[in-house]
Chain A
Amino acid sequence: MTVAIERSRERARAVALVRRVNFAVIVFLALYIAVGLLQPNYLEPAGAMNFLRRAAPLAILASGQLFVLISGGFDLSVGSLVTLTVIGGSMLTANDPSKTWETIAVLYAIGLFVGLINGAVVAYLKTPSIIATLGTLLSVNGAAMMWSGGSPRGYLPDNFRMFGRLVFHDVPVIGIFPLAVAVLVVVCLLAHWALHGAVFGRRVFAVGDNPRAAELAGVRVEFVRVGVFVISALSAVTAGVLLGGFGGVSVDVGRGLELQAIAACVVGGVQLLGGRGAVVGAVAGALTLTTLFTLLTLLGLPQPLKDTAQGIILIAAVAIGAWRRRRAV
């Protein structure tokens, strides 16, 4: 009889999981169609590609944040790291296109450093990641302000901005293909492989599920923790490079992005206590959020209220996720 019980429970669970991941995809598609009804060119290939281009930074951030969340932590410093990337990019290139590639290399190095610090503080100093990364947020923002002297220069050279702006034309079937979308695809594939197709990913799940058990089984928990924060930081730099191509250089570029990334993951089915999640979910969540914001803008929501909307969405996403988890068990 116990086998029958377990089998029916398992079925319920499988259905819930499928529903959860597909839920984000379904919600995304529903919202996107709503947007398309308001603004028909979203339904055309060119419009859709542009949408993906605009959604790419958030999706990349969410893919990186995913690792930290699954390991049971939070990385609240990614927004400030994006800001630092953009400001640093403009300061280092000083509008000279020949410096772009080395600048990008330096920016990744900075990102690596920040990720290592985050990871080390959480892993070796045993600080809760919320506090640690909030502190990093402060410091990185301060560093960005210091670097730019409070008034950032407004320009980035064109070849830096191409990651965000460049669009290949005359592509068969889809018409245009933005470089940003290519970057997004590459990042997603890498993330998917690292999380689901490599031993490292399983260690991340283990650490998030039960760090003590993982340690006793021989997992080097500290390395895993440092690893996930490095991944998150590198994704932030990538997103920053893309965002640098979108608009001007300002100190607000990254504000609130960490919460958006977390919200995206939660909408996509990631569990905030660790141990559960998938790349598909994170990306679906990011697309859903971007669609939602597009919808709100089309409906005429003023810019400041975007924060309010974000807050409501964040709470709603987590609340719904918690509710569905209670139902499934």
Chain B
Amino acid sequence: MEQAALALEMLDITKTFPGVQALDAVSFGCARGEVHALCGENGAGKSTLIKILGGVYRPDGGTIRLDGREVAFSHPIAARRAGVSIIYQELSLLPHRSVAENVFLGLEPTRFGVLDRRAMRDNASRLLRRLGSSIAPDTLASDLSIAHQQIVEIAKALAIEARILVMDEPTAALDRVEAARLLDLVRRLSAEGVTIVYISHRMSEIQAIADRVTVLKDGRTVMTAPLAEAPTDRLVRAMVGRDLADFYPPHASEPPGPAALAVRDGANRQLRGVSFELRAGEIVGVAGLEGSGKDALARALIGDEPFESGTMEIGGGTAKPGHPRAAIEAGLGRLSDDRKREGLLMQQSVRDNATLIERAFAPAFRSPIAGSMSPQSTDQRLIKLDVRAASFDQEAQFLSGGNQQKALIARWLARDPEILIFCEPTRGVDVAAKAAIYRIMRDLAKRGRAILMISSDLPEIIGVSDRILIMREGTLAGELPGGAAEEDVMAIAVAHDRVPDAMAS
């Protein structure tokens, strides 16, 4: 029996949208200062649940209690005033305003009707120091790294004396070191009595900081338990209904073929002295902290921000694509890390998305459904990749993250490229789809393609790659075989003897 009322209780929350039951009598509760992890596949209802908590939606049924008192939020500002603060995945900072202006957005202090900028600056500094950060309050938000922006978001949440902080995938865009710092921060806030609801797909983080875990599946609570009773494989099974052991496909059993891609001394504004080979039949992972240049590497290879010096050989012939179109012609393909901004045509059908590259290269006056662009052959490709949609005429925006990713893979496979680069292939993708994508990558490698995988998810890199390249400060710092220990990878990525201690796995 609880002595004190729970800081947060959500009881029997039900929410229906036209044609969809998003939540069905979902319940969970947190004590004050508890770190409560919320997990589930995409579409399980997590985001609807926190939007209800945040006052964006109103529940159709159920109650919300804060410290035992029942509350109902009609608008996000009501939730904020009650001490509930939500940090969504999409950062909501104003890029052209200072940190202080962002932190106090909507709450600007005034003196005699005029903005009290000194108070804003001082209070912002105070909040940032409390979070262990030394960011100057006059810095422009756009000049900050993503990790720092995240800290400003938290400061913004705390500016309203939040008692309950909900964080939705806060480490999605952070590298290992920054993520570790963030987790430290979470622990610190929890110790101060802030209740934290932590949503994440990263099992290692959940194991590192959660006190209790709730798993949602198909809009229902499937499991609520203290961490001790919730090891990763039990969580995964609850979310997905399968065992963790099947998660990563086995590494390549045969030695790789000839070099499909060779780069020597590639350099541009962000990279220098990059030299490596990518052979047919292998999956090479590229790991590195944020700013290490791994994303810049992908962009250089596909001609988006090309190499300015050095050589590049594709399939034995020299080529240095200066434009994405040239890269595709040379036999390269890249799945971008930001599918919403750089990949999907949200309002076009799944088929239109899958045939985009073919249509980019076909003669302008040819029929758009001729040859390989026909619905029959397109559907075949989509089915082979197990893209699930009500119909392939459906608009891409209605697909789940995993299916969107698979549809994009179908697009890039249309011209049968020799070399495929996957950037953050499972970001925002649920567990089942993750496993499927790993299998697809391994299949492609088995059939002779050369795969380059760039990811901030270290377990994924280690689990899937045959070889791991590690980048640091714009250049290749080292190489390890697949399956290497995380500490070893981190050691090269960070080039320190000491590795940040908050890294459990």
Q: Determine if B360 is an interface residue (Cβ-Cβ < 8 Å).
A: yes
Given the known inter-chain contacts A10-B394, A12-B19, A218-B357, please indicate yes or no for A275 contacting B363, CB distance below 8 A: no
Cross-interface CB contact of B324 among A197, A209, A218, A276, cutoff 8 Å: A218
Q: A240 vs B44: C-alpha distance in the bound complex, in angstroms?
A: 57
Q: Determine if A169 is an interface residue (Cβ-Cβ < 8 Å).
A: no
- A12-26: CB near B (< 8 Å → 1, else 0) gives 110000000000000
Would B325 and A220 count as touching, CB distance under 8 A?
yes
Q: Looking across the interface, which residue of chain A has its beta carbon closest to that of B352?
A: A202
Contact residues of A between 175 and 207, Cβ < 8 Å to B:
197-203, 205-206
| Interface bin, chain A | 20 to 34
Q: Determine if B479 is an interface residue (Cβ-Cβ < 8 Å).
A: no
Question: How close is B501's CB to chain A, nearest CB, in angstroms?
Answer: 40
Q: Determine if A5 is an interface residue (Cβ-Cβ < 8 Å).
A: yes
Would B390 and A199 count as touching, CB distance under 8 A?
no
Would A216 and B365 count as touching, CB distance under 8 A?
no
Would A276 and B20 count as touching, CB distance under 8 A?
no
Would B357 and A217 count as touching, CB distance under 8 A?
yes
Q: For chains A and B in complex, what number of residue pairs have CB atoms within 8 angstroms?
A: 122
Q: Which residues of chain B have C-beta atoms less than 8 A from A219's C-beta?
A: 325, 356, 359-360
Q: Looking across the interface, which residue of chain B has its beta carbon closest to that of A205?
A: B348
Q: A98 vs B408: C-alpha distance in the bound complex, in angstroms?
A: 58
Given the known inter-chain contacts A9-B20, A198-B364, A203-B360, please indicate yes or no for A216 contacting B411, CB distance below 8 A: no
Cross-interface CB contact of A206 among B302, B342, B348, B388, cutoff 8 Å: B348
Given the known inter-chain contacts A10-B390, A206-B356, A218-B361, please indicate yes or no for A5 contacting B366, CB distance below 8 A: no
Question: How close is B412's CB to chain A, nearest CB, in angstroms?
Answer: 9
Q: Which residues of chain B have C-beta atoms less than 8 A from A3's C-beta?
A: 388, 390
Question: How close is B292's CB to chain A, nearest CB, in angstroms?
Answer: 22
Given the known inter-chain contacts A202-B368, A218-B328, please indicate yes or no for A213 contacting B19, CB distance below 8 A: no
Q: Which residues of chain A have C-beta atoms less than 8 A from B341's C-beta?
A: 210, 212-213
Q: Looking across the interface, which residue of chain A has its beta carbon closest to that of B358?
A: A199
Cross-interface CB contact of B347 among A212, A217, A276, cutoff 8 Å: A276
Would A197 and B20 count as touching, CB distance under 8 A?
no
Q: Determine if B467 is an interface residue (Cβ-Cβ < 8 Å).
A: no
- B337-360: CB near A (< 8 Å → 1, else 0) gives 000011111111000100111011
Given the known inter-chain contacts A198-B367, A214-B356, A218-B324, please indicate yes or no for A205 contacting B345, CB distance below 8 A: yes
Q: A65 vs B475: C-alpha distance in the bound complex, in angstroms?
A: 49
Residue among B43, B345, B388 with the most chain A CB within 10 A? Answer: B345
Q: Determine if B240 is an interface residue (Cβ-Cβ < 8 Å).
A: no
Q: Looking across the interface, which residue of chain B has its beta carbon closest to that of A2?
A: B43
Cross-interface CB contact of A212 among B342, B348, B361, B368, cutoff 8 Å: B342
Q: Determine if B255 is an interface residue (Cβ-Cβ < 8 Å).
A: no
Question: How close is B370's CB to chain A, nearest CB, in angstroms?
Answer: 9
Would A210 and B360 count as touching, CB distance under 8 A?
no
Q: Which residues of chain B have C-beta atoms less than 8 A from A2's C-beta?
A: 43, 218, 388, 400
Q: Determine if A7 is an interface residue (Cβ-Cβ < 8 Å).
A: yes
Q: Which residues of chain B have C-beta atoms less than 8 A from A203's C-beta?
A: 359-360, 364
Would A213 and B364 count as touching, CB distance under 8 A?
no
Q: Determine if A125 is an interface residue (Cβ-Cβ < 8 Å).
A: no
Q: Which residues of chain B have C-beta atoms less than 8 A from A209's C-beta?
A: 345-348
Q: A10 vs B344: C-alpha distance in the bound complex, in angstroms?
A: 18
Question: How close is A245's CB to chain B, nearest CB, in angstroms?
Answer: 31
Would A206 and B345 count as touching, CB distance under 8 A?
yes
Q: Looking across the interface, which residue of chain A has its beta carbon closest to that of B299?
A: A216
Question: How close is A289's CB to chain B, nearest CB, in angstroms?
Answer: 25
Question: How close is A196's CB to chain B, nearest CB, in angstroms?
Answer: 8
Cross-interface CB contact of B19 among A8, A214, A271, A275, cutoff 8 Å: A8
Q: A209 vs B394: C-alpha distance in the bound complex, in angstroms?
A: 15
Q: A243 vs B358: C-alpha distance in the bound complex, in angstroms?
A: 41
Q: Determine if B362 is an interface residue (Cβ-Cβ < 8 Å).
A: yes
Q: Determine if B67 is an interface residue (Cβ-Cβ < 8 Å).
A: no
Q: Looking across the interface, which residue of chain A has its beta carbon closest to that of B20?
A: A5
Contact residues of A between 61 and 113, Cβ < 8 Å to B:
none
Q: A10 vs B357: C-alpha distance in the bound complex, in angstroms?
A: 25
Q: Which residues of chain B have C-beta atoms less than 8 A from A198's C-beta?
A: 364-368
Q: A216 vs B298: C-alpha distance in the bound complex, in angstroms?
A: 12
- B289-331: CB near A (< 8 Å → 1, else 0) gives 0000000000000101000000000000000000011001100
Q: Determine if B391 is an interface residue (Cβ-Cβ < 8 Å).
A: yes
Q: Looking across the interface, which residue of chain B has its beta carbon closest to that of A271?
A: B347
Cross-interface CB contact of B345 among A10, A213, A220, A271, cutoff 8 Å: A213
Q: Determine if B336 is an interface residue (Cβ-Cβ < 8 Å).
A: yes
Would B400 and A213 count as touching, CB distance under 8 A?
no
Which residues from chain B sit less than 8 Å from chain A, CB to CB?
18-20, 43, 218, 302, 304, 324-325, 328-329, 334, 336, 341-348, 352, 355-357, 359-368, 388-391, 393-395, 398-400, 411
**Chain A to chain B: the 3 pairs with minimum beta-carbon distance, closest first:** A8-B19, A218-B360, A6-B390
